[in-house]
Amino acid sequence: MIASNIPTVESIERSVTRYVEGVLSGEIITGRLVRLAVERHVADLEHARKRGWIFDTLAAAQAVAFFPMCLRHSIGEWNDAPFTLELWQQFITWCLFGWKRSADNTRRFRKAYISIARKNGKTTFAAGLALKALYLDDPVEPAAQVYCVATKEEQARLLYNEAERMVRKCPWFMKRSRIRKAPHLISYEQYQSIFKPLGSDSNGTDGLNPLIHSPMFNSTNGVKHRKFIRVLMFII
């Protein structure tokens, strides 16, 4: 692990609550869809159990804490600094990993569309989410297949390379991983799980396992790319 000051469940919950209250009060300026997501979260905390959903505060806090505890920035002025999430990133992570289906304790949200303005760290954030799904999902899925996807594999490797640098900076990951260059691949040996870049021009996309765990799309531009997305979404 990396961070010396481990955030507590209570401190993370206070931080997310501050964001939620700020959005609802108008103190934090957001777009309409972000506000609707916050409003849905608040309403669901009260009514979701009737629809078969529960919120696991511990799982949500562990997902948020994963970033500063296990990940370091790998480039630029923040190189080697623990990856501490901004409030909006905390809210996204809090919801994605906290909401679960009461019937089987699996995640409620199977798909998430996250739109982030340029130069706001979408690749870095997506790399962190991918590594969370690979190494410390709740529950951990054996033989998970995590992909970063783009129209061209070369573009997909932008996200993959960011994730690989993060893995190399974490001793806990390195003790449990094997990193290959041909083909580009990170394998979590204990669970036989993999993380790799994938493009519509990659070899072997027709034989993808129908139990893909987490495809990460760094960009959804391009007609061919949208068709590729539909294929992957169909086989999840």
Q: Among the three residues 109, 142, 167, which one is the final residue of a domain in this structure?
A: 109
Domain count, the chain: 2
pLDDT digits (tens, 9 = 90+) for 133-143: 999 988 888 88
Q: What is the pLDDT of residue 150?
A: 78
Cis peptide before 7 (omega within 30 of 0): no
Q: Residue 96's domain spans which residues? A: 1-109
The answer to the question of residue 211 being in a domain is: yes
Cβ atoms < 10 Å from Cβ of 113: 7
DSSP state for residue 73 in the 8-state scheme: -
Same domain, 135 and 228: yes
The answer to the question of residue 57 being in a domain is: yes
pLDDT digits (tens, 9 = 90+) for 208-228: 443 445 555 555 555 355 555
Same domain, 154 and 230: yes
Q: What is the pLDDT of residue 167?
A: 96
pTM attached to this predicted model: 0.85
Q: What is the pLDDT of residue 24?
A: 97
How would you write 8-51 as a 3-class SS string? CHHHHHHHHHHHHHHHHHCCCCCCHHHHHHHHHHHHHHHHHHHH
The answer to the question of residue 226 being in a domain is: yes
The answer to the question of residue 88 being in a domain is: yes
Q: Among the three residues 68, 86, 109, which one is the final residue of a domain in this structure?
A: 109
